[in-house]
A and B are shown apart, each in its own frame.
Chain A
């Protein structure tokens, strides 16, 4: 394995080794894809570095990029990194998002992350520009790089300056800032070093048996670690092709990813769990005409607890189009360790384990008990090279195999702390261990992730995982699949929590809704859970996190606000 001083050196090496190979295939519905060869991509990145330098962008300054799916995003991002500045990708506003909400989200991020510059599109100027002039703003200015003239040749002086800057970037310098998942504006800014990302590329590539023939296909947004690290940084540093589909287009027509995959013979993709259900539900048979999924050797599930039912549904929908069930794979990943900490073995079936659900909630992994509810836990694989994973109890003591507790991680690709947020860093980073806040257990070297520690509902001393409630309610007729969240609400009289669910339904008729609430409660009873509060809401009501999943915290707060309003 070659050692590089910084990522730029590594990218430049790929440019020399594979000048004409596709680095990025930019996919857009109904258009010829735009192809960046490694050479063209880096030539353009150099031009952006020069243009950025002339605009006064300096080393270590944080440069936020808010640009919708555009081929120029890629060289711009590299051009920023090539100046020793720090690119930070922020979400382009969803058309449904109110401009004020978007503005307050960017403002929150800018205050927390200390954004220096924003690179965006002219359309967003009226919304973002007031943030620059606002008192106390860290933002020095807005730029519209898609309008910049790139028709020039680098002068000898330009090249010398860039060489000198790049020659001075060392492996401990920051290379990017990514935001951990969460509600926009409250996300934590994760700073990663050159070495963290480069080492992660090598270690993760080894865990998925990556070869130079592999091709990544992704619709994942690049403001999320799964999209940015797995589907952009890994292929770029490894010297392979990444096919990038527009996330907004994917939501409207998820078959677009398969169209791109089929045309380019892609081999690997990453998906969050909800996408398995979404694709299986939304893609119609007639959209799969002439599409073969045979080239896919890995579909890696990460970013949320892996659900066995989702995998089954995906296989049932797509095996007839050449999808190999052994391509199902899983990983446990987070922004704070750059990306992955564990990975299942490519080409082998994922290890699943059926356990008694009640015992699991009490922290014990025991076989299912006849007549009682069980849960199928899906492995997220073995620990990858460069990482150590332990399960600990409340006191931080390591638990033996089968013990359920908090997952803590050590990694050579650990983040350098949350930027401008020492108190939060101290909360999660202790003695070199990252306390993930996730619950899980290990068995035979495999990690099983059960859920988020802070989301656990405690009803009269009994732990309930919201995932279990959501899975049960999601199966009730009249509830939109995947559009349910569960959380605990304090019952001051009883002195404990009660289970509440918020679920989207297309029903509008009050009688139908009453019957549906009844069915939801009965479903809860059938799996030994008393669901006290059922809030039925219309489609698209639930607030989603930056990862695209309905957010438990944000929706719980929304319900609380509504209840407060009703009391007034």
Chain B
């Protein structure tokens, strides 16, 4: 399940008021999340959690649920 913290980080970076983000939501279906803004979204997540996400780890995430799992794994 997507945490409020991750969701709000993404929404803030994409300047979205609200958007329904679920485990199976794909990044390219979120308004404004394209290849241009992708790097900034990842950077914002890294800053928020004080973690480092490798390019290749992020690439392997098929949806935002995978991204949540990746973030959680870094925190543990």
Contacts and interface: CB of A to CB of B under 8 A. Distances in A.
Given A253-B55, A282-B55, A286-B52, A96 B34 contact: yes
Contacts of A30: 59-62
Given A284-B54, A286-B52, A286-B54, A96 B59 contact: no
Contacts of B55: 252-255, 282, 284, 287
Interface in B22-76: 28, 34-36, 38, 52, 54-56, 58-62
Interface of A: 29-30, 95-96, 249, 252-256, 259, 282, 284, 286-287, 540
B59 A252 contact: yes
Residue picked from A29, A254, A256, most chain B C-beta under 10 Å: A29
Given A284-B54, A286-B52, A287-B54, A253 B36 contact: no
A259 B36 contact: no
**Nearest 6 interchain pairs by C-beta:** A30-B60, A253-B55, A253-B56, A29-B59, A253-B59, A29-B60
Contacts of A256: 56, 59
Contacts of B35: 95-96, 252
B56 A287 contact: yes
A506 B10 CA distance: 22
Interface of B: 28, 34-36, 38, 52, 54-56, 58-62
A255 B60 CA distance: 12
Contacts of B34: 95-96
B33 to A, nearest CB: 11
A71 B58 CA distance: 23
16 contacts: A29-B56, A29-B59, A95-B34, A96-B34, A249-B59, A252-B38, A252-B59, A253-B55, A253-B58, A253-B59, A254-B55, A255-B54, A255-B55, A282-B55, A287-B55, A540-B36
Nearest to B34: A95
B50 to A, nearest CB: 15
A299 to B, nearest CB: 20
Nearest to B28: A95
Contacts, number: 40
Nearest to A255: B56
Query: Which among B36, B55, B58, B62 has the highest number of chain A CB atoms within 10 Å?
Result: B55
Contacts of B38: 252
B5 to A, nearest CB: 24
Nearest to A96: B35
A96 B60 CA distance: 21
Given A30-B61, A249-B59, A253-B59, A96 B36 contact: yes
Contacts of A253: 54-56, 58-59
Contacts of B54: 253, 255, 284, 286-287
Q: Which of A252, A282, A284 has the most chain B CB atoms inside 10 A of its CB?
A: A252
A540 B36 CA distance: 9
A546 to B, nearest CB: 18
B54 to A, nearest CB: 5
A547 B54 CA distance: 27
Contacts of B61: 30
Contacts of B52: 286
A95 B34 CA distance: 8
Contacts of B56: 29, 253, 255-256, 259, 287
Contacts of A259: 56
Contacts of A255: 54-56
A97 to B, nearest CB: 11
A293 to B, nearest CB: 16
Nearest to B55: A253
Nearest to A251: B35
Nearest to B39: A252
A253 B60 CA distance: 10
A542 to B, nearest CB: 14
A282 B59 CA distance: 14
A554 to B, nearest CB: 20
A95 B54 CA distance: 22
A504 to B, nearest CB: 14
A256 B55 CA distance: 9
A287 B60 CA distance: 13
Contacts of B62: 30
Given A284-B55, A286-B52, 16 more contacts: A29-B60, A30-B59, A30-B62, A96-B34, A96-B35, A249-B59, A252-B38, A252-B55, A252-B58, A253-B54, A253-B58, A254-B55, A255-B54, A259-B56, A284-B54, A287-B55
Contacts of A287: 54-56
Contacts of A29: 56, 59-60
A456 to B, nearest CB: 34
A277 to B, nearest CB: 16
Nearest to B35: A95
A286 B38 CA distance: 20
A337 to B, nearest CB: 35
A540 B59 CA distance: 20
A411 to B, nearest CB: 39
B45 to A, nearest CB: 15
Nearest to A289: B54
Most buried by B among A30, A96, A249, A256: A30
